[in-house]
A and B are shown apart, each in its own frame.
Chain A
Amino acid sequence: MTCKVGIPRALLYYKYFPMWRAFLEKLGAEIVVSENTNQKLISQGASLVVSDTCLPVKVFIGHVLSLSDKCDKLLIPVVRSTAEKVYNCSRFLALPDLAKAVVPGVPPILEIEFDYSRGTGYLYRQIYSLGKNFTLNPFKIKEAAEYAWETHRRYHDITVQHHLTRIEAIDLLHNDKMLEIKESKNDGLTIGIAGHPYVLHDEQVSHNLIKRLRADGITVLTPEMAPEAPDSNGNGHTQFAGLAKNYWESEEDVVGAGDYYTRIKVDGIIGIMAFACGPDSMMMNLVQRQARSANIPFMSLTVEEHTAEAGVVTRLEAFLDMIHRAKRRNEQCV
């Protein structure tokens, strides 16, 4: 009997899901992904943790809860660092322990810790200890890991090349066919969105922000579409340019993207952040200051479980009207 491995559709899912799926399927596991986020799931998750936990973690706990009776094991990787002295947010490091502590009846958790700072030997041991749950043959695990890495690179490449969102790229990889992105009337506005993939691409959490913008004929840029700018050593691994050392691994989505948008002079930037997000509370402020100094309109959108859709829509409309009006006025002046 194949082992059913559950993967919550939250947090790191958006960044690493193709990699995890490739690895586990190669080892003969069956993957169960939780349903799309919905309001019930959010409120169930929120009821299990203390109230000042950030929204993405509440959503994550909701997903874990919905998976708890559908799978034999649950995959919750811990990504501590992916570059020298750049760590991930504190909340990510405690996810398996948090799930174990607060979710009643949680299935056994498969953990793997990625920690670049501890060297490759540690990484290999971690991969092996994860693979050991499915096969004892180290060569098979190595093969699966290499395949997974290759899939991850491909996932990354097609996202940048075709200007796809994470969700579209995951679908594309899964179905092996090109999605048809509806190109409606394009009135030439480009809006960059700075924010984490788990906020931005979760349609329930972001209230369909991307779809709404696209329906208005706006070209939407999301952080994953930004090409990697070379860092000072010439390694193409950081999107931070001009702004300090990178501090949090997951903040490239915010500061790196904000930096990219200001460099290519988009018409407006929307910063979407979750309430009580620790890193964002500081980083979004930096992006805002940067946008202000470059004279680019910036809207900060904070979402939480009580955010009303109507409120988001009104603010979005007002923001777009403002940009349109400014653009028209500039054209008349010229």
Chain B
Amino acid sequence: MRITFPHIGNAYIAVKAMLDPLGVDYVVPPKCNKRTLSLATKYSPEGVCIPFKLNLGNMIEAVELGADHILNVTGHGTCRMGYYFKVQEQILRDMGYDVTMMLTGLSEHKLRGFLNLLRSVSNNAPWTKIISSFAFGIAKMTALDDIEIMANNMRAIEKVKGTATPIYRKGLQAIDDAADYRSLKEVVKECGEKLSEIEIIPDYKPLKILVVGEIYVVLDPFANMDVELELGKLGVITNRSLYLSRWVKKGLFFNPLGIDQWRDVHKAAMPYLKRDIGGDGWETVGEKVISSGHYDGMVHLAPFTCMPEGTAQCIMPSTREDLPVLAIYCDEQTSKAGMLTRLEAFTDMILMKKTGCLSR
């Protein structure tokens, strides 16, 4: 039994940390690349959204490397995501691969489902071991997000463009290699120091842009064409509504206790959208409403044909709270040059709106 799992951003580093101590035979699919995308487009239904396609591409490439069991999450709700596994399994079977999906329902089983899943792949390891490896995975996830936030902040204000990114990439690798809590802490500290030593432009007030949208395209730099990196190059500080570590921690630990981290966001969205429409649509509308005044603009990422985000995009222009929004649809046809042009035009526009002139 060889396990694999589809990518979402850098989460594979955390999943590896969970599986390693349990002695599981697993294979990480190659990071999303051109081949993943073309395989995915070839075998997927044409109208389906990009997360489905890239997940399928990851699975195909992992199966080629000998994987036969696939870890996946499911759910029930209104978005397509909860049904992915069924169609993907069917496609892989029709391609002649004999795979088994190992599933956990995120929305119904929460933490327990995830731990049970870990237990079943680890050949019934003791609970203490499972919980400790899971906690270490979460710690790595948090570390990943910490250095990403620092890098995003530095990238906008660094004097020599392109200094922060290599440090960040080295940090990613170092986090992946860290074997225990102490080395992990050291790695994060070292990366943070290196980032803070970067020479910055004096007296520069960067624009602040919030990146919102569907979770997969927000978290996955391949799917969103490194939108945060590119915005950083344009001298913009980006923040996200979603960080995987926070999402997992709150979703798995606090929500079962009845604490809803989105309550304020939902309340803000109420006048314009009265109910949860699945995916992250409700949150997107709410984020726009509460970010107005705190941010200079918002980049709305959505997979092409995404149902909740499409609805959110229709509703957003009608809110009273004003905030410039740039909607970017991600799919296999999206070109980087087109996106860059739009990002440049967008930042120029909000800069002009803010200062009255184009010079910085």
Q: In whole angstroms, how far apart are the Cα atoms of A90 and B49 in the complex?
A: 14
Are A285 and B78 touching (Cβ within 8 A)?
A: no
Are B82 and A50 touching (Cβ within 8 A)?
A: no
**Could you give 18 example pairs across A and B, Cβ below 8 Å?**
A49-B314, A50-B310, A87-B278, A89-B307, A90-B277, A93-B275, A97-B273, A101-B318, A111-B274, A248-B78, A278-B49, A278-B307, A280-B47, A281-B46, A281-B47, A282-B48, A282-B80, A285-B48
B residues near A113, Cβ cutoff 8 Å: 275
- B329 partner, pick from A49, A52, A244, A284, beta carbons under 8 A: A52
Q: Give the A-B contact count at a CB cut-off of 8 A.
A: 111
Q: In whole angstroms, how far apart are the Cα atoms of A320 and B307 in the complex?
A: 34
Measured CB to CB, the closest approach of chain A to B298, in angstroms, equals: 16
**Chain B residue at smallest Cβ distance from A97:** B273
A residues near B274, Cβ cutoff 8 Å: 96-97, 111
Measured CB to CB, the closest approach of chain A to B107, in angstroms, equals: 10
- B314 partner, pick from A53, A86, A273, beta carbons under 8 A: A53
B residues near A49, Cβ cutoff 8 Å: 314
Measured CB to CB, the closest approach of chain B to A60, in angstroms, equals: 12
- Cβ-based interface call for B306 (8 A): yes
Stretch from B86-94, B136-144, B165-173 forming part of the interface with A = B86-94
Q: Mark B306-333, 1 if CB is under 8 A from A, else 0.
A: 1110110111011000000001010000
Are B304 and A52 touching (Cβ within 8 A)?
A: yes
Taking beta carbons and an 8 Å cutoff, which residues of A are in contact with B? 49-50, 52-54, 78, 80, 85-91, 93-94, 96-98, 100-102, 111, 113, 244, 247-248, 273, 275-282, 284-286, 289, 302
- Cβ-based interface call for B114 (8 A): no
- B273 partner, pick from A88, A94, A284, A285, beta carbons under 8 A: A94
A residues near B306, Cβ cutoff 8 Å: 278
B residues near A111, Cβ cutoff 8 Å: 274
Measured CB to CB, the closest approach of chain B to A182, in angstroms, equals: 35
Measured CB to CB, the closest approach of chain A to B29, in angstroms, equals: 21
Are B277 and A101 touching (Cβ within 8 A)?
A: no
Are A281 and B314 touching (Cβ within 8 A)?
A: no
- B78 partner, pick from A88, A98, A244, A275, beta carbons under 8 A: A88
Are A85 and B45 touching (Cβ within 8 A)?
A: no
Are B314 and A284 touching (Cβ within 8 A)?
A: no
B residues near A88, Cβ cutoff 8 Å: 78
A residues near B76, Cβ cutoff 8 Å: 85-87, 247
Measured CB to CB, the closest approach of chain A to B179, in angstroms, equals: 41
Q: Mark B12-25, 1 if CB is under 8 A from A, else 0.
A: 00000000000000
B residues near A85, Cβ cutoff 8 Å: 76
Q: In whole angstroms, how far apart are the Cα atoms of A285 and B276 in the complex?
A: 27
A residues near B276, Cβ cutoff 8 Å: 93
Q: In whole angstroms, how far apart are the Cα atoms of A111 and B273 in the complex?
A: 13
Are B278 and A284 touching (Cβ within 8 A)?
A: no
B residues near A102, Cβ cutoff 8 Å: 314-315, 318
Q: In whole angstroms, how far apart are the Cα atoms of A53 and B78 in the complex?
A: 16
Q: In whole angstroms, how far apart are the Cα atoms of A279 and B52 in the complex?
A: 13
B residues near A50, Cβ cutoff 8 Å: 310, 313-314, 327
Measured CB to CB, the closest approach of chain B to A135, in angstroms, equals: 25
Measured CB to CB, the closest approach of chain B to A57, in angstroms, equals: 8
Are A91 and B311 touching (Cβ within 8 A)?
A: yes
Q: In whole angstroms, how far apart are the Cα atoms of A10 and B149 in the complex?
A: 46
- Cβ-based interface call for B305 (8 A): yes
Per the 8 Å Cβ criterion, residues 44-95 of B in contact with A are 45-49, 52, 76-80, 82-83, 86-87, 90, 94
Measured CB to CB, the closest approach of chain A to B68, in angstroms, equals: 21
Measured CB to CB, the closest approach of chain B to A82, in angstroms, equals: 13
Are A98 and B87 touching (Cβ within 8 A)?
A: no
- B315 partner, pick from A52, A101, A286, A289, beta carbons under 8 A: A101
Q: In whole angstroms, how far apart are the Cα atoms of A282 and B304 in the complex?
A: 14
A residues near B308, Cβ cutoff 8 Å: 90
Q: In whole angstroms, how far apart are the Cα atoms of A220 and B79 in the complex?
A: 32
Shortest Cβ-Cβ A-B pairs, 10 listed: A281-B47, A90-B307, A285-B45, A101-B318, A90-B78, A90-B278, A278-B307, A94-B311, A101-B315, A281-B48
Measured CB to CB, the closest approach of chain B to A223, in angstroms, equals: 19
Are A53 and B310 touching (Cβ within 8 A)?
A: yes
Are B80 and A278 touching (Cβ within 8 A)?
A: yes
Are B311 and A282 touching (Cβ within 8 A)?
A: no
Are B304 and A98 touching (Cβ within 8 A)?
A: no
B residues near A54, Cβ cutoff 8 Å: 305, 307
B residues near A80, Cβ cutoff 8 Å: 275
Q: In whole angstroms, how far apart are the Cα atoms of A85 and B276 in the complex?
A: 15
Q: In whole angstroms, how far apart are the Cα atoms of A97 and B286 in the complex?
A: 14
**Chain A residue at smallest Cβ distance from B108:** A85
- B279 partner, pick from A52, A90, A281, A284, beta carbons under 8 A: A90
B residues near A278, Cβ cutoff 8 Å: 47, 49, 80, 305-307
Are B47 and A90 touching (Cβ within 8 A)?
A: no
**Chain A residue at smallest Cβ distance from B44:** A285
A residues near B275, Cβ cutoff 8 Å: 78, 80, 93-94, 113
Q: In whole angstroms, how far apart are the Cα atoms of A93 and B282 in the complex?
A: 11
Measured CB to CB, the closest approach of chain B to A178, in angstroms, equals: 39
Are B315 and A94 touching (Cβ within 8 A)?
A: yes
